[in-house]
Amino acid sequence: MNSLTNKVAVITGGAKGIGKATALRFAQEGANLIIWDLDREKGLALLQELEKFGGKYSFLELDISDFEGVQKAAEEVKIEFGKIDILINNAGILKDATLLKMTEEQFEKVIDINLKGCFNCTKAVAPYMIENKYGRIVQASSIVGLYGNFGQTNYVASKAGVIGMTKVWARELGPKGITVNAIAPGFIATEMVDTIPENIIQSATEKVPLRRMGSPEEVANLYLFLASDQASYITGAVISIDGGAVF
């Protein structure tokens, strides 16, 4: 039997990049999936790819910074699928600028999606996990949330905040049978990295002991482990997946 057979998993930002790789990996392991993403075209295209695995899958175009919308979406998942076992808080955006050049809009937008969005989704989904006395919540932080990074005040603040919330929720939800963990990816070859100048990418990868960027599939494997029962005694952890990179 596959490790996620009959599990119901919600993946935010699941239409592309790491989220898409995670959806495909989870489907391969027998999970039924709900994808929440703003990219409708890629989300619907992913549903077609998932069909070959034979599970039950749905996509919803959703802005996770809107709590009422997220709460309604979670209710719909419960009605359609009967439960929610796994939440992957993967959605995130970049709007980089140095402190003196960063606008209020740039700061707030990243916080709204990366941090508030994580709060919204967890708050909306957690009651259904508590009801079943079972849950796996895994959320995307970043190595910059641990070490900081030039020109990323907003992104670093959001990812450091995710780490803090992970540790709080692990304490609050652990007695309810729910584990809460975070992953901290380094440089991963996704569409988000495509916005970074080539010289910066080259300089960054030269500092990585493995001398390369990671793949979305490698991150998906870590999400899978933490979402599975193999990680049943791991909670409140922040696991780096960065090829050994340090800032």
Q: Provide the residue type at 198 as one letter.
A: E
60: pLDDT confidence band, cut at 50, 70 and 90? very high
What is the model's pTM?
Answer: 0.96
Tokens at residue 152, please?
């990323």
Taking only the tens place, the pLDDT of each residue in 15-48 is 999 999 999 999 999 999 999 999 999 999 999 9
> What is the DSSP code (8-state) at residue 68?
H
| Domain boundaries defined on the chain | 8-241
CATH of span 8-241: 3.40.50.720
Higher pLDDT pick, 151 / 198: 151
233 noted as active-site residue: no
The pLDDT score that the predictor gives to residue 207 is 87
* Whole-number Å distance between alpha carbons of 144 and 146: 5
The pLDDT score that the predictor gives to residue 105 is 98
247: pLDDT confidence band, cut at 50, 70 and 90? low
68, HSE (Cβ side, Cα atoms, 13 Å): 0
The active-site residue out of 128, 134, 155, 223 is: 155
C-alpha of 133 from chain center: 22
Average pLDDT, the chain: 96
Strand-by-strand arrangement of the 238-241 sheet: 57-61, 32-37, 8-12, 86-89, 135-140, 178-185, 238-241
Instruction: Check: CB of residue 12 under 8 Å from CB of residue 36.
Output: yes
Instruction: Check: CB of residue 19 under 8 Å from CB of residue 37.
Output: yes
The pLDDT score that the predictor gives to residue 1 is 65
Average pLDDT over residues 84-94: 98
